């Protein structure tokens, strides 16, 4: 098999697999939604976790609570 064919197959394969994973993940986020009232925006969770681990390496955020 020549390299052009190998590269084309590999490019198609990576798109197919990642597209498939995207579909599966969309499905599981739909099937298992965040329970109302218990969720914090995932971007906020990631941002806070990132900031905490930068300041305190190794630390983990286990709970985020909003106080009004």
Partner 1 sequence: MEAIRELVMSSGFVGLTWQNLVMFGIGGLLIYLAITKEYEPLLLIPIGFGAILANLPEANMWASNTAEHLEGASHPLLQMVYNVGIKTEFLPPVIFMGVGALTDFRPLLARPITFLLGAAAQLGIFVAALGAFYLFGFTIEQAASIGIIGGADGPTSIFLATKLAPELLGPIAVAAYSYMSLVPIIQPPILRMTTTKRERSIVIPPARQVSHTAVILFPILTGMLASLAIPPCAPLVGMLMFGNLIRESGVTDRLFKTASGPLINIVTIFLGITVGATMQGSEFLRPQTIYILILGAFAFSFSTMGGVLFARLINLLLPADKQINPCIGAAGVSAVPMAARVVQGFVSQETNGKVNPLMAAMGPNVAGVIGSAVVAGVFLALIG
Under the criterion CB under 8 A, does residue 47 sit at the interface with partner 1? yes
Under the criterion CB under 8 A, does residue 35 sit at the interface with partner 1? yes
First to last CA, the chain: 64
Which one, 39 or 67, has the nearer CB to partner 1? 39
Q: Are 33 and 24 in contact (CB under 8 A)?
A: no
Burial 41-59 (b: 16+ CB within 10 A, else e): eeeeeeeeeeeeeeeeeee
Under the criterion CB under 8 A, does residue 25 sit at the interface with partner 1? yes
Under the criterion CB under 8 A, does residue 24 sit at the interface with partner 1? yes
- Report which secondary-structure segment, H or E, holds 44: helix 42-55
Give me the residues that bind partner 1 (CB under 8 A), please: 1, 3-4, 6-7, 9-11, 13-15, 17-26, 28-29, 32-35, 39-43, 45-47, 49-50, 58, 60, 62
């Amino acid at each position: 098999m020549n390299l052009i064919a190998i590269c084309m197959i590999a490019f198609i394969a990576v798109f197919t697999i990642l597209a498939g994973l995207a579909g599966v993940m969309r499905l599981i986020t739909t099937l298992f939604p965040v329970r109302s009232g218990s969720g914090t925006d995932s971007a906020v969770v990631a941002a806070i976790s990132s900031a905490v681990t930068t300041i305190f390496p190794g630390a983990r955020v286990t709970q985020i609570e909003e106080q009004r």
